[in-house]
Amino acid sequence: MVSPVSQANEDRLETVQAPISEAPVGAKRTPEEAREIAMRVASTLRCPVCQGLSVSDSSSTAAVMMYDRIQGQFEDGYSEEQVIDYWVARYGEWVLLAPTERHWIVWLGPVVVGLGGFVWLSFSLFGKKRDVAAQDATPEQELVEMQTEQDPYVAQLLSELED
Amino acid sequence: MLSILGRGLILLALLFATSGSIVGFIAGKRRSLEGWRWAARAAYAFGFSAIAANFVMIYALVTHDFSVGYVAEVGSRSTPLYYTIISLWASLNGSILFWAGVLGVYVTWFTWSHRDQHREYMPYTLGVLLVICVFFSILVATIANPFAPVSPVPMDGPGPNPLLQNHWLMAFHPPTLYLGYVGMVVPYSMACGALLAGRLDAGWMAPLRRWTLLAWSFLTVAIMLGGWWSYEVLGWGGYWAWDPVENASFLPWLTCTAFLHAAMVMQRRGTQKRWSLVLIMATFLLTLLGTFMTRSGVFNSVHSFTQSDIGPTFLYFIAIVFTFSVLLLAFQDSVLDDNDDFTVKPTRVLSREFAILLQNLVFSVFTFTVLLGTLYPLIAEAIDGTRVSVGEPFFNRMALPLCISILFLMGVGSALPWGRISSQALVRTFVPPVSLGVVAAGVLYALGYDSGYFLFAIGISIFALWLNGSEFVKPVYARMKSTDESLFEAIPAAFIRAPRLYGATLSHVGVAVTAIAIAFSSAYKVERDVTIQIGEKVEFSGYTATFMGSEFVKEPQRDSLVASLALSYKGKTLPSAHPRLNYYRTMREPVGTPDVHVQPQGDIYFSLLHAEPDGSYVSMRMMYSPFVVWVWVGPILMGLGALIAGSAATIRRRRRAGRVNMGVLVIGVTLVASLVLVLASGFGKDPKAVPSMLEGKLAPAFSLVDTRGETFDLADHRGKVVVINFWSSWCQPCKIEHPLLLRAPDVFQDVTFVGVIYSDETENAVRYLQKSGETYRHLEDPKGHTAIDYGVAGVPETFFVDPNGVIAYKQVGPLNGAMLTAAIEKAKQGLL
């Protein structure tokens, strides 16, 4: 029934059944052991019928079925990576609530903005201070500064009482 | 009749807003006192018309006048009066009308409060304010018209969305949120007014800050109420899920909080004016973005109950406001120059001003993170077409260090003085709170709390709580030392002299309380899903719950199954719990009402997931959530503090003149363009669509039993085209395609058709097939394994498997004849 051509095709096929056809990499787990990992993994997978809730948070029928499947896979001894691959193969990266490293921009963007902002802020405050101190600090100004800041603690309290 | 009256009032509002804004701008330009008076009159007239239109709508709702479009959409004779009134904001058109009404309240209040002050600023400010009113009036008058007449007049309506008539909080959350959102219109207009008038002095900053504090209080409480509502209604036991709509309300809160602090540096030092105005303008833009996210259908959320075609119009408005703000900031840049004394007093690292600037940085990064995370799915899809999700795990990981920095800076910033601190004072100030934080974390560790992040968060919160709490005491102590006042004289005297300090401190204490409560309730929540029979007991966290039985309660708009649970703690009986499942006529799946037993040390939460019709056993989620009630109390303190701080304000200072800030212009225009592009890319796409992954891949093998008990193995059908249809008896679209599929085996005789029953009781499916006909085999998939193997995300979904066993095509949603023929042809070609 199966032609040679289609046989060749089949060999070329990137098989999507990896975690099911492939043997589990680990030993079988007890339901309790499996539950612990399954809960953690389920909290990072998105329930397809809900609105952005994770499989572990959602109580919808679809999420319950998904959880059940995950639990079963861990009981059979599949590794965390195999299970996640299984879900990504079926529902796409969309199923992962935290984007993968491929989407580094969303992880690193805020860090870059934060560091950049910090450097810019420090430079604009303290960089300027040194220039000003070198060029403009006259004895009078320093005197003013000293007078207004005799005891900052008392000054703070007094000024807040004024407010 | 009411249709005409309501629409008339809206058209009047539009007329007044338009003429008032024109008069306002002219009066500002010519510095005309008379012009300002007329603009103010137009503002009152707008306010009156907008508010009156809301009352007309409420009257129509209450009297069930179904000739009014909106009443026909959300009204129902069986809905109780309370929910009928609040259904004013149950759906899009009503909520836009309500928005206009709140705008009317603010416009009237603002115009009246400053009727004889700030004559150089007020005409322009009114002009800008009324332009915004024009936009909302146009929305209400055209695409979101709630007063459209209906003909023929229906006898009854469907009633509001069940989720919205399930809890009393629905009466408070939306109005508070609107008061917060719409309230940001006022500071925005005031900022624009100052830039247009070409000056920004301390006299204008004081009311600007006050109006912002007012809106901020509402927004803070509204965000909390939204979380509380989720917790009480949605039944999953959490209060914050980083859902796009939750993020949408959080974004303006972040920038607004940053503004309130930056404005202090501005008032103190005469610096950071440019930055402060950027923040307040961003806040208003983010409220518009938030409304867009909720209403456009571009984002996927539990909180967007209505979607419509106002998206594009809203996006135009966002683009216009954004561009206008950028141009104003760039061309009026000289208004925002620093005062000279900046150069005299350099900023020190250990000073309050530096702590505040760092706080601003952290809040900006936080805003950027949340915005990027929320928009990223749109960006990724626009770039390479992949559909990704950015959810809780991402946001939690990113937010944790940011929140800890905020708490740390909140403590340090409140304790450091402006200017400079001596090293003795430094030691005196910081040694006690640091020790206290360490001790608190140590004690908790000894008590068995072993999460590192948790202990760190608690330590920092205690540190911040001490430093802020001591701000209550210090001024009193200082007064008692310097004057001879007794404690009872000193407390009110200190409070009256420094309401801003006391307000701010109260807000900060609220933040620390919220942080501690969030740390406990998220790290040490105990949760269990159980299925129990009558008389059975479950124990968790020292509590024992016994299922006593259940009963059906009939109400006009719904039927409810109410379960009874006897509750006791270590042998002591507590009031019993009654979680319920509500069955609405318009919804397939029941909506739960969890029962929450509230206690200061932690809530016990019961949420029914499933119940047998005879009530003999129920599945439910039980949860113990420590200190969760303080998550609601904290933001109330924050809001209250801001109101106290807002009730007082003082300041002084001056200015210079004329050039364009190219930096602001270039960065601003780039931001406008990219934001608009990203948002526009979301139109016409379904945010809920799950990507199709399996086309071109081998069809997952399965062997299932059909409704007659015979086995069907996919492998036996190799060499033929197989059409696998996932369906269920409760699914409406499945009924649409059913007649087509019934005839199909006759038309395509060389094709195997097979149905797989998805998420349904077999007997319901069989009954449905007996009634509607059956021409091919239908398989049971009891635990949904096969459906999941195929990546099914909803029904109907149909897979076309070619003779080689490869999935040639996947159809989501009902098929029609042409699609079926084309897909079978494609599958017959067989080769990749």
Q: Which tens digits make up the pLDDT trace of B245-298?
A: 899 999 999 999 999 999 888 877 777 888 899 999 999 999 999 888 887 777
What tokens appear for B537 in the block? 């007991």
Token pair of B504 as six digits: 């701010």
Q: Name the DSSP class of B233.
A: I
Binning pLDDT at 50, 70 and 90, where does residue B718 land?
Answer: confident
Phi, psi (5° rounding) for residue B593? -120, 105
ipTM above 0.90 for this complex:
no
Confidence of residue B138 (pLDDT cuts 50, 70, 90): very high
pLDDT band at B832 (very low <50, low <70, confident <90, very high): very low
| Residue B372 CA: distances (Å) to CA of A115, B245, B248, B310 | 16, 14, 12, 23
* Of residues B10, B29, B439, B353, the one with CA closest to residue B197: B29
Span B564-616, pLDDT tens digits = 888 888 888 888 888 888 887 666 677 788 888 888 888 888 888 877 777 77
Quick check: pTM over 0.90?
no
Chain B hits for A75, Cβ within 8 Å: none
Among B342-356, B419-433, B720-734, B742-756, the minimum mean pLDDT is found in B342-356
Residue B176 reports pLDDT greater than 90: yes
Q: Measured between CA atoms, how close is A85 to chain B, in angstroms?
A: 12
CA distance B808 to B41: 68
Shortest CA distance to B596 belongs to which of B568, B625, B569?
B625
Task: Read off the pLDDT of each residue in B514-526 and give the average, rounded to a whole number.
Answer: 90
Cross-chain Cβ contact B497/A163 below 8 Å: yes
Q: How far apart are the first and last CA of chain A?
A: 91
- Written as six digits, the tokens of B20 are 């008032």
- pLDDT > 90? residue B214: yes
Distance from CA of B497 to the nearest CA of A (A): 6
Sequence-distant (≥ 6) Cβ neighbours of residue B809 within 8 angstroms: B695, B799, B800, B823, B826, B827
Pairing outcome for strands B595-597 and B537-540: unpaired
Rounded to 10°, the helix A152-162/B452-482 angle is: 80
Residue B232 per-residue DSSP state? I
Decide if B794 and A44 are in contact by the 8 Å CB cutoff.
no
In chain B, which residue's Cα lies nearest the Cα of A59? B609
What is the per-residue pLDDT for A155? 55
Contact: A151, B804; criterion CB under 8 Å: no
* Chain B residues 435-494 with CB within 8 Å of chain A: 474-475, 478-479, 494
Taking the mean position of all CA atoms in its chain, how far away is CA B742? 45
B782 touches chain A (CB under 8 A): no
Does position A104 have pLDDT exceeding 70, yes or no? yes
Q: What is the pLDDT of residue B39?
A: 93
Q: Which residues of A touch B475 (CB under 8 A)?
A: 157, 160-161
Q: Compute the nearest-CA separation of B40 from chain A (Å).
A: 32
Tell me the HSE value of B429 on the side-chain side, using a 13 A CA sphere: 24
Phi/psi of residue B319, nearest 5 degrees: -60, -40
Sort strands B721-727 and B751-757 into parallel, antiparallel or unpaired.
parallel
Question: What whole-number distance in Å separates Cα of residue B536 and Cα of residue B470?
Answer: 51
pLDDT value of position A157: 55
Counting every residue written for chain B, the total comes to: 832
H-helix or E-strand spanning residue B711? strand B711-713
Residues of B whose CB is below 8 A from A125: 346-347, 354, 357
